[in-house]
Structure 1
């Protein structure tokens, strides 16, 4: 299991991509950047739904649930980057913002998906 925060974050993002792939989503981008904003994962379900995912990975629950660490500023930057990508893609379908909360366990990860986490 990863020990430092950087390695843990990468492992969490890989677990997130795997989670969405197993659920039938297509991975479009990982680590998409626009200005100072970054979207951890962008996935598509069929031709009608584009999902922007914020992945929060923690080594344990001692500081609270991972999903509570998405600030208002982060959501604002996230929406800005998502809007830019939609314009770039000329996307006309639906969109959704998810938070994937990943907690490291002794064997693997616990993954909780919060669909439509914010707007």
Structure 2
């Protein structure tokens, strides 16, 4: 009798769990670099920011995390001009009247392997010049 490998779960619950794992990896990477996580999955109106971190120099970074199981569709294709607009809108709402020296938008692509390890690619300052 041969056994076939069980298919990986797909759909919203599996997607959400994968997304949370990716956000965990991204948050840990920022913290390892000395940043402090100010918020996770922060909702501002209809918009959501995956991570808000403050770097050691005081820069506040609004982070979109894109988690994948493979390299077929990368973060560059997934973060559209419309998504950047929603990120800017949510960041402005979160900031309100708070004063920060520097603000930046980042995208982190997380590719999770079958063994649970992850490879991260950082796209820092994705909104510069826009």
Structure-1-length-normalised TM-score: 0.89
**Correspondence for 1:84:** 93
**Correspondence for 1:109:** 118
**Correspondence for 1:58:** 68
Report deviation, 1:28. Answer: 0.2
Query: Does residue 42 of structure 2 align to residue 68 of structure 1?
Result: no
Does the residue aligned with 2:86 lie in a helix, a strand or coil? helix
Report deviation, 1:44. Answer: 0.2
Structure 2 stretches lacking a partner, 5+ long: 1-7
Q: After the TM superposition, which parts of structure 1 deviate over 4 Å for at least 4 consecutive aligned residues?
A: none
Report deviation, 1:94. Answer: 0.4
**Correspondence for 2:37:** 27
Does the residue aligned with 1:21 lie in a helix, a strand or coil? helix
Output the aligned Cα RMSD.
1.6
Does the residue aligned with 2:96 lie in a helix, a strand or coil? helix
- The size of the alignment, in residue pairs, is 116
Structure 1 stretches lacking a partner, 5+ long: none
Larger strand share, 1 or 2: 1
Superposed CA offset, 1:40-67 (max 9, x none):
00000135310000000011112x2133
Which one has a bigger Cα radius of gyration? 2
